[in-house]
């Protein structure tokens, strides 16, 4: 299966300010995860597949695809910020035969775990802001995206109360007792 990414390594580097010498083998899996896990959660399967198909065919810029092109352009920053969150973890810690290791350079000490988490929190906040913008854009322009079913729109509306990421369960249907 051919892999289609909606952003590229160059855009991620230029936008986020990550080092030019950071290996692409860390950036590309982070972009992949940001797009296929987090971004998919915002736009849904059908719309993500449509965007990928248009990018793959090279028709995203053609007449009739203006809404998709605009969505793709608005999505670049969200995917980038989520990718940086992932790449920070990938480069700071490695899983090896010896377990989870940190490989500091002899001239530059690696950031400790707390500093890495602060950096991730910074980019998560930026990604959350972009997610809120994307969700609002999708709802405002849902007529332009037939791939968005009513279920997707309801899910997006529910997330508009807060697009913030949170690692704990804050209640909801799982806490109800069925009678």
Report CA dihedral (149, 83, 123, 137) to the nearest 10 degrees.
-20
In a domain, 18, yes or no: yes
In a domain, 161, yes or no: no
pLDDT tens sequence across 29-52: 999 999 999 999 888 888 999 999
pLDDT for 66 equals 95
In a domain, 124, yes or no: yes
Give the mean pLDDT of 67-95.
87
Confidence of residue 103 (pLDDT cuts 50, 70, 90): low
Strand ranges, E, within 65-146: 94-96, 99-101
In a domain, 171, yes or no: no
Percentage of the chain exceeding pLDDT 70: 72
pLDDT for 19 equals 81
pLDDT tens sequence across 126-166: 888 898 889 889 888 988 998 887 666 666 666 655 555 65
In a domain, 90, yes or no: yes
What is the domain range of residue 23?
A: 9-149
φ/ψ of 96, rounded to 5, equals: -135, 180
**Domains in the chain: how many in total?**
1
φ/ψ of 75, rounded to 5, equals: -80, -20
Selected residue with higher pLDDT from 119 and 94: 119
In a domain, 1, yes or no: no
In a domain, 173, yes or no: no
In a domain, 131, yes or no: yes
32 sits in which H/E element: helix 24-33
Percentage of the chain exceeding pLDDT 90: 33
| CB-based contact 91:22 (threshold 8 Å) | yes
């Amino acid at each position: 299966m051919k892999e289609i990414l909606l952003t590229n390594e160059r855009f991620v580097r230029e936008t986020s300010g990550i080092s030019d010498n950071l290996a692409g083998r860390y950036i590309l899996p982070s972009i992949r995860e940001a797009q296929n896990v987090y971004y998919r959660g915002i736009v849904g399967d059908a719309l993500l597949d449509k965007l990928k198909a248009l990018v793959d065919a090279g028709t995203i810029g053609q007449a009739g695809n203006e809404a998709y092109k605009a969505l793709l352009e608005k999505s670049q920053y969200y995917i980038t910020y989520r990718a940086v969150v992932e790449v920070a973890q990938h480069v700071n810690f490695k899983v090896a035969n010896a377990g989870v290791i940190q490989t500091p350079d002899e001239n530059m000490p690696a950031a400790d775990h707390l500093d890495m988490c602060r950096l991730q929190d910074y980019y998560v906040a930026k990604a959350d802001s972009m997610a809120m913008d994307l969700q609002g854009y999708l709802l405002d322009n849902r007529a332009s995206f037939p791939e968005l079913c009513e279920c997707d729109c309801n899910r997006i509306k529910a997330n508009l109360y807060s697009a913030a990421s949170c690692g704990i369960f804050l209640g909801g249907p799982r806490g109800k007792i069925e009678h």
